[in-house]
Structure 1
Amino acid sequence: MSLNCVALVVAAGRGSRSGEGIPKQYRLLAGQSALRRSLELLSGIPELKAIQVVIHPDDLEFYRDAAAGFDLPAPVFGGATRQESVLAGLMALEAADPDYVLIHDAARAFATPALIRRAIEAGRDTGAALPALPVVDTIKAVDTAGAIVRTVDRNELRAVQTPQAFAFKTLLDVHRRAQRDGRNDFSDDGALAEWAGLTVSTFPGEATNIKLTTPDDFKRAEAMLRDNLSDIRTGMGFDVHAFGPGDHVTLGGVRIPHDQGLTGHSDADVVLHALVDAILGALADGDIGAHFPPSDPQWRGASSDRFLKFAVERLKARGGIIANLDITVVSEAPKIGPNRDAMRARIAEIAGITPDRVGVKATTNEGMGFIGRREGIVAYAMATIRLPAS
């Protein structure tokens, strides 16, 4: 049976309960934001003919990063409430004249393709359907002082999730009716449909389809991702560059004043070059020279953060994350110690991880060899990564 179904992703919230920092839908989980994970999921469902995202006007740059590489229509700016944001998205989709729509919260980054397909089928069969889970805890009703009033029969209760599926025109009409009546306080589209007198059915949700709301939710999400990444690998990288004319060296993405520079086809950042080879080695994906040959003039003088970002993207494309990066710099000068924390912070920023996952160590060569003669610098790197089990 043919089905014209679209998805609307709500990503306009501020996420104040999730703690300080950028809005929760853009915070990284193992290198990827919750919104990007939701977009990857929905983009892989061929039954969905369009995906419309609703965002806050202040988040346009965050959105562009999260949606990079996806063929999506321009985002729609949401309103002051979730309900207003959904209406804005529905109006943007109206010209496509879809039969059904899935309303999904960007903060639910762990839904599965099976859940999406159940939502599509339930929406087609009933016109209004929500994923739901039985409530397993004993539930108490309390008064304003916190005293228990009664025990609620949990057999009648369900915890609902997204995506929620509806006949498109019906949901749009209900939203417009609520707007005319001055009602903008519904917490989800299921509640709005109930208010309008629609019969709303349920279908099985997923316990892992958690909503990222509090800092503890992010900790749980990180743990879930780590549990799924059981293929642990380690790669080693090495690089060396000679000194030449100049007034600084670039190490770990940090410009360090020095009475010489390092010579090389790019910016000669031995630390980042070694890290690139370590990550590529762990992936069994060649080396830096294979991907960025020195014979190619486009890499002359290039900033090496581009190379490290490339290696990290190769890792992400295979569903992996960086567990740890460890670097040892061997040099008589300049001194690494005063620049260690800046290097760790810059490497972490480029790789999309936290500085506590980056180690930077330094030693001299005790005056021996070309390093001891201050002719160059060597860097060794180790990268530990985690990939999904094959």
Structure 2
Amino acid sequence: MSEPSRIAALVVAAGRGARAGAGDPKQYRLVGGESVLGRVLALLGAHEAIDRILVVTHPDDGDFYARTTTALAPAAREKLLAPVQGAATRQGSVAAGLARLADGAAPEIVLVHDAARPFLTPDLVSRAIAAAQAHGAAIPGISVVDTIKRVDETGRVVETPPRATLRAVQTPQAFRFAPLAEAHRTAVAAGRDDFTDDGALMEWAGHPVVVFAGEAGNVKLTHPQDFAATGGPETRMITRLATGFDVHAFTVGDHVWLGGVRIPHTRGVLAHSDGDVVLHALTDALLGALAEGDIGTHFPPSDPQWKSASSDRFLAFAAERVRARGGIIDLLDATILAEAPKVGPHREAMREAIARAADIPVSRVSIKATTTEKLGFTGRGEGIAAQAAATIRLPEEDA
């Protein structure tokens, strides 16, 4: 019997976004070179506390959704359930998602998030989970800066609530799963289908709802100007290409590390870390594309903490540097130069290990191998080398 999923994320992405103007549905438009939904799924997929993600989609968006999820890192894709079709209202779409999550081992906590909020942070997600665990129903909110007026049907002001008591509510909203699912069923039975957020529905059902601190940057993209203001389609991405190279001499041993894979061999390599020439070359290629030095700049061999270190840490660091600058890794390509060991039997395992370390899809990783026709130090079996290339995109203002 499978272990029940403890924390699930339900992403509502079935809307048409008519107020966003002409073009693709807003959840599939680009912000900083990535689709809005793609940014949401990448962040949720990378969060260690979330073990299941379900997206509620529109029936016409199959191709959009497929392209978006294909571009995700393997770790994020592994958490995705098959999408469920949304309804005519947001409330109906959430209810459809909850029903799908309940079909099997229901989660303990569910986070409901709008796909049109692509700038949520890992810290916000963690605080949402903690608040739901502590209170049962919790929604993020930020203090309002404008004076709010309540008016009647004629537009006449009837009340000016004190700003100190007001909050602008965001997502992800977090709940214990069972009470939220029951509240949705109760609302349907009562003929209510007009709730625009799950916090309001839970209040109506009689559950106390707590507001925790949201984030000012967690904006909802609604109008065309929202995309322009937050680096939307108008943001140009500049392509950069750089290369890397690494070599290690053979020494006494019984294995070598190549591309994050331990391969049995008649020799080992002489190195300060694990001597993985593939990951070292790829790391240098990424750092070169960023113009941020080389592997020795960030991980000097004179520092004892890197002795025998696993080289996937170096590649993960360089990949994170790309993302920290708003960049995207398009391709990592490496060629191994050696007479032995044979690379072919290990090629796919190497691609998968590199994809995990760099947090990119395996389709963006290429591994090749060649001999040097018995010429040079590799031809004489004295060592092993790798050359690599990395193609990335950076926002124009940072490129």
Same structural fold, with TM-score higher than 0.5 when normalized by the shorter chain:
yes
Q: How many residues align?
A: 255
Shift of 1:153: 1.4
Query: 2: CA distance between counterparts of 1:284 and 1:168?
Result: 47
Aligned residue number for residue 56 of structure 1:
58
3-state SS of the aligned residue for 1:10?
strand
Aligned residue number for residue 202 of structure 2:
193
Shift of 1:218: 1.1
Shift of 1:82: 0.5
Conserved 8 A contact 2:12-2:112: yes
Question: What RMSD, in angstroms, separates the aligned Cα atoms of the two structures?
Answer: 3.5
Q: 1:233 to 1:59 in 2, by over 3 A?
A: closer
Q: 1:188 to 1:148 in 2, by over 3 A?
A: same
Aligned residue number for residue 77 of structure 1:
85
3-state SS of the aligned residue for 1:146?
coil
Aligned residue number for residue 364 of structure 1:
none
Percent identity (aligned)? 53
Query: 2: CA distance between counterparts of 1:388 and 1:100?
Result: 40
Shift of 1:151: 2.1
3-state SS of the aligned residue for 2:140?
strand
Aligned residue number for residue 89 of structure 1:
97
Conserved 8 A contact 1:318-1:387: no
Matched, 1:177 2:179: no
Conserved 8 A contact 1:233-1:282: no
Shift of 1:131: 0.4
Aligned residue number for residue 141 of structure 2:
132
Give the counterpart of 1:42 among 33, 41, 44.
Answer: 44
State the one-letter code of the partner of 1:25. Answer: Q
Shift of 1:16: 1.0
Query: 1: CA distance between counterparts of 2:94 and 2:41?
Result: 17
Give the counterpart of 1:28 among 23, 27, 30.
Answer: 30
Q: 1:316 to 1:64 in 2, by over 3 A?
A: farther
Conserved 8 A contact 2:9-2:50: yes
Query: 2: CA distance between counterparts of 1:142 and 1:62?
Result: 41
Give the counterpart of 1:153 among 159, 162, 177.
Answer: 162
Query: 1: CA distance between counterparts of 2:114 and 2:135?
Result: 21
Unaligned runs of 5+ in 1: 238-278, 286-314, 323-382
Deviations 1:301-325 (A, max 9, x none): xxxxxxxxxxxxxx88974279xxx
Shift of 1:283: 5.0
State the one-letter code of the partner of 1:7. Answer: A
Q: Which 4+ residue blocks in structure 1 deviate beyond 3 angstroms?
A: 143-150, 232-237, 279-285, 315-319, 383-390
Deviations 1:327-353 (A, max 9, x none): xxxxxxxxxxxxxxxxxxxxxxxxxxx
Conserved 8 A contact 1:235-1:281: no
Shift of 1:143: 3.4
Query: 2: CA distance between counterparts of 1:117 and 1:156?
Result: 25
Greater shift, 92-101 or 51-60, is seen at 92-101
State the one-letter code of the partner of 2:327. Answer: G
State the one-letter code of the partner of 2:139. Answer: L
Greater shift, 214-223 or 131-140, is seen at 214-223
Query: 1: CA distance between counterparts of 2:107 and 2:159?
Result: 45
Conserved 8 A contact 2:133-2:176: yes
Conserved 8 A contact 1:30-1:321: no
Query: 1: CA distance between counterparts of 2:241 and 2:46?
Result: 34
State the one-letter code of the partner of 1:178. Answer: A
Aligned residue number for residue 257 of structure 2:
none
Query: How do 1:1-390 and structure 2 match up within 5 A?
Result: 4-68=6-70, 69=72, 70-71=77-78, 72-94=80-102, 95-222=104-231, 282-283=289-290, 319-320=326-327, 385-386=394-395
Shift of 1:29: 0.8
Deviations 1:133-180 (A, max 9, x none): 111111122333434333221122111100001010110111111111
3-state SS of the aligned residue for 2:120?
coil
Query: 2: CA distance between counterparts of 1:19 and 1:280?
Result: 39
